[in-house]
Amino acid sequence: MRLALLLVSVMALTACGTVYRSSSVSPGLQNGTQVRVVSISAETVVQANRSAYSPKTLPAVFSLTAGTGEGVRSVGALPQPTYSAQLRPERLEVRLPPSIHPGPYRIGVGDVLVLTTPDAGALIPNPGVSSSLKTGRQAYTVQDDGAINIPSVGRVKLADLTIESAEAELFQRMVANQQDPTFSLEIAEFNSRRVSVGGAVAAPAVVPVTLTPLSLDAALAASGGVAVQDQDSASVRLYRNGSLYQIPLNELYSRPDLLKTRLLDGDSVFVDTEYELGKAQAFFEQQIALVAARQQAQQAALLELQTEVSLRRAQLTEARSNYQAQVALGADKNDYVYLTGELREQGRFALPFERRAVLADALLANTRGFSVQSADISQVYVLRASTDPREFGAVTAWHLDARNAANFALMTRFELRPDDVIFVAQQPITKWNRAVSQILPSLINVSRVAVD
């Protein structure tokens, strides 16, 4: 008799809802809030996604890099020596340099490359770098680190490459950066490989080595020609890689093969009018000193760039760390979606930066998801308050019936908005189980007292 009374009491209390009253979504006017229930379908997803929304972007510091994009600063012009001729007749022996064929021209620091593309706006030249006036042609100087900087492609190292190899490297980089790989490459200015000419010439100069092999007669012509009064005592001295060669001027002009002696990058040519080597030695020493000064300046510039990049990287790291600390402490102004109801984990879901999240992201991310024991997957709702001032208090409940597995595809297309509330109702049996779990201990205690 007592057990029957207990069961009747449990059923009565559960039916009237005095023990546990769960949340539910009911259409119509509820406590001043107008609730409209709309089933989620392929058509209504389009309607829901029409609401204006722009995802927040990450702070600009996350898109910056430590490189300045300007490369190593230029060393600058170094002083050029001046020389005067002195006469002292003496006969000299012929000492010829070995025949060398270094192969095709290789791009070097200081060369100006012209990149021609079908679209003139596709590639933007570096600030301060000369540009061709023709449409679609942009000029880039090979900087001291051996690279050119193309804003739409990035830094591409071309030093020590032939034209063909450089074109292949640019092709690969353009394809990797999704740029049109249609282009042509040429060298507009040859500044990296040079031969110094001094002594008894009309105009001492530094002659560039170009695609066309540089011969001795061409180098002398570029310096205004030989200016001596007595060819019998004059000679051309050539300094190369620590070795000194000489050709008497009479021999030079009597043998065409000597005029075509090929010069290499770094050679120093000195037209001497005396037998003693003092003057030529001074010229060569000065050339060596200029090369050493240039190398030291380049090393200093590289060290300066490395220091600048390190400081810049430290600043970026600190700024990013500060922002991440603000996010961890809740000081950020992020957008959230709130999850409640029969889920394994209730809480809030932060909408991502720079992209739009969908319903599947919030429900299935990490440990979230339906509670297998208690969730009614036919009653999944996205509650969204109206942003129209004329509809203040109105709520649209977008309803998804997940009993049909095909509707899970709609979860990947339904976009979330800030302050959306995702609610999953409980199963009817869950109400009964919870009521029994709350009432039964009390009734058992009452029964024990009655028995006693």
Percent helix, percent strand, percent coil in the chain, to nearest 5: 35, 25, 45
Give the pLDDT confidence score for residue 74 in this predicted structure.
Answer: 56
Please state the domain extents for the chain: 2-56+334-447, 112-189
Check whether domain 112-189 has CATH 3.55.40.20, yes or no: no
Q: Which two tokens stand for residue 305?
A: 């760039």
Give the pLDDT confidence score for residue 298 in this predicted structure.
Answer: 80
Beta-sheet pairing, 421-426 with 336-341: parallel
Query: Which positions ≥6 away from 166 have C-beta within 8 Å?
Result: 107, 113, 158, 185
Greatest CA separation for the chain: 144
- The H or E element spanning position 80 is none
Helices (H), ranges, 336-413: 359-364, 408-411
- The CATH classification number of 2-56+334-447 equals 3.10.560.10
Average pLDDT across each block of 10 residues of the chain; the chain has 452 residues. List them in order.
Answer: 54 51 72 83 89 81 64 54 45 80 89 83 46 63 90 88 93 88 91 90 91 91 85 84 86 87 91 68 76 82 82 84 80 84 85 88 73 81 83 85 87 92 80 59 56 54
Give the pLDDT confidence score for residue 433 in this predicted structure.
Answer: 60
Helix, strand, or coil (residue 271): strand
Q: Give the residue among 441, 291, 399 at the shortest CA–CA distance from 35.
A: 399
Helix, strand, or coil (residue 4): helix
- The H or E element spanning position 206 is strand 205-208
Helix, strand, or coil (residue 140): strand
Q: What strands, in cross-sheet order, belong to the sheet with 184-189?
A: 137-141, 112-116, 184-189
Strands (E), 315-367: 336-341, 347-350
| Phi–psi pair at 395, nearest 5 degrees | -130, 135
Q: Are residues 174 and 181 in contact, defined by beta-carbon separation less than 8 angstroms?
A: yes
